[in-house]
């Protein structure tokens, strides 16, 4: 059951700067990258190679940390250390700046669109998570500011089917948020990691959450509800059902769960990219993951981000501190 990762292409996307994030468009045909050179680049395939289609270098005054496509593919959001989040609208061959979301006190670390396309979440070193609503006229309004974390918030991610948000922080915790009476609040706090939690990913069905950390582990969490007849609070509680330890040599910066195949990919500070698969014979309540593929020196420096193509099974993008991104083909049986 051993798999393999084959390198398809390596691109020097952000020369002399870190490439922090890569994100596939919902159609799977475009790849957005962003980095320390304050620019966002859009890449498309021409024949066998990936070419730069567009450069957005006037939107931010500092590092662009995260880019995210709207579910419809017409908009792009970019989160920056300049404390703003820019919303871009796709025109024929280009992107134009639609609006700039302000409010965070310092660096915005992440931005994420809800599957409905009507909500956006951002998080920052100011310890807060902001939820924004978009209306039909492309107007953005902040509807909630939640201060559940005690430190820098690194990542936010939406549940694939429910209106539920998760955030990861330098305070070593993960928070889960739900809307109650028009206000978003923290419903659960997941503790267990021994250092900063860098990223999160829900499984395709939204039943489990993967988190990755500076403690060099990946944890899988599952929501558990009290069994019938049990007394106790009706609040949902999340339990850690699996910990992947001993696989990563340094900080795990990103984790991505493939919607098509269920494979789990990680980006690590030891320059490696790994893919994990779930053992299908094991009880899903206590899952077991094994490492299916590993490229030890996927990049010459830290790997910051990993992203599965939403349409083409096994196609994976990664990016690194050396300003490169790489496209890989993952085969589960090689």
- Interface contacts to other proteins, rule CB under 8 A: 18, 36, 62-63, 65, 81, 107, 109, 125, 152, 154, 170, 195-196, 214, 250, 269, 300-302, 321-322
Q: Between 62 and 178, whose beta carbon lies closer to other proteins?
A: 62
Q: Between 11 and 42, whose beta carbon lies closer to other proteins?
A: 11
Q: Between 65 and 90, whose beta carbon lies closer to other proteins?
A: 65
Closest CB 90 distance from other proteins, rounded Å: 28
Q: Between 18 and 193, whose beta carbon lies closer to other proteins?
A: 18
Please, which residues have CB within 8 angstroms of residue 224's CB and are 6 or more apart in sequence? 236, 237, 238, 239
Closest CB 62 distance from other proteins, rounded Å: 5
Both tokens assigned to 236: 């949902």
How many angstroms separate the Cα of 291 from the Cα of each of 181, 244, 266, 294, 298?
A: 43, 9, 11, 7, 16
Both tokens assigned to 273: 């990219």
Do 34 and 52 contact (CB within 8 A), yes or no?
A: no
Do 113 and 77 contact (CB within 8 A), yes or no?
A: yes
β 237-244/49-56 pair status: unpaired
Closest CB 165 distance from other proteins, rounded Å: 21
Q: Between 277 and 299, whose beta carbon lies closer to other proteins?
A: 299
Both tokens assigned to 204: 């395709």
Q: Between 112 and 275, whose beta carbon lies closer to other proteins?
A: 112
Measure CA 301 to chain center: 20
Closest CB 64 distance from other proteins, rounded Å: 12
Do 97 and 59 contact (CB within 8 A), yes or no?
A: yes
Closest CB 271 distance from other proteins, rounded Å: 9
Q: Between 215 and 278, whose beta carbon lies closer to other proteins?
A: 215
Q: Between 25 and 84, whose beta carbon lies closer to other proteins?
A: 84
Closest CB 91 distance from other proteins, rounded Å: 30
Closest CB 196 distance from other proteins, rounded Å: 7
Furthest-apart CA atoms within the chain: distance in Å? 62
Do 322 and 297 contact (CB within 8 A), yes or no?
A: no
Closest CB 81 distance from other proteins, rounded Å: 5
Please, which residues have CB within 8 angstroms of residue 159's CB and are 6 or more apart in sequence? 115, 165, 166, 202, 206
How many angstroms separate the Cα of 109 from the Cα of each of 3, 56, 106, 153?
A: 33, 19, 9, 7
């Amino acid at each position: 059951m051993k798999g393999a990762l084959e390198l398809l292409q390596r691109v020097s996307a952000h020369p002399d700067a870190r490439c922090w994030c890569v994100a596939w468009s919902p159609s799977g045909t475009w790849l957005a990258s962003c980095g320390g050179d304050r620019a966002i680049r859009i890449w498309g395939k021409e024949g066998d190679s990936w070419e730069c289609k567009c450069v957005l270098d006037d939107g931010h005054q500092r590092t662009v940390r995260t880019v995210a496509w709207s579910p419809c593919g017409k908009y792009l959001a970019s989160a920056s250390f300049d404390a703003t989040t820019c919303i871009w609208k796709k025109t024929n061959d280009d992107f134009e700046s639609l609006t700039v979301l302000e409010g965070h006190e310092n660096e915005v670390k992440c931005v994420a669109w809800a599957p409905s396309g009507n909500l956006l979440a951002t998080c920052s070193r100011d310890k807060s998570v902001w939820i924004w609503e978009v209306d039909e006229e492309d107007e953005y309004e902040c509807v909630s500011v939640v201060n559940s974390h005690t430190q820098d918030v690194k990542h936010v991610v939406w549940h694939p089917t429910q209106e539920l948000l998760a955030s990861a922080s330098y305070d070593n915790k993960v928070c889960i948020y739900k809307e109650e009476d028009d206000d978003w609040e923290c419903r659960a706090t997941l503790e267990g990691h021994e250092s900063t939690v860098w990223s999160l990913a829900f499984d395709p069905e939204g039943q489990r959450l993967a988190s990755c950390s500076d403690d060099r582990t990946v944890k899988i969490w599952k929501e558990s509800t009290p069994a019938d007849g049990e007394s106790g609070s009706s609040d949902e509680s999340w339990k850690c059902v699996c910990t992947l330890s001993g696989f990563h040599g340094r900080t795990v910066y990103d984790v991505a769960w493939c919607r098509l195949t269920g494979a789990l990919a990680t980006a690590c500070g030891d320059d490696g990219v790994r893919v994990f698969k779930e053992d299908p014979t094991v009880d899903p309540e206590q899952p077991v993951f094994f490492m299916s593929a590993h490229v030890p020196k996927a990049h010459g420096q830290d790997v910051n981000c990993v992203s599965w193509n939403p349409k083409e099974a096994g196609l994976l993008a990664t990016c690194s501190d050396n300003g490169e991104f790489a496209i890989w083909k993952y085969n589960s049986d090689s």
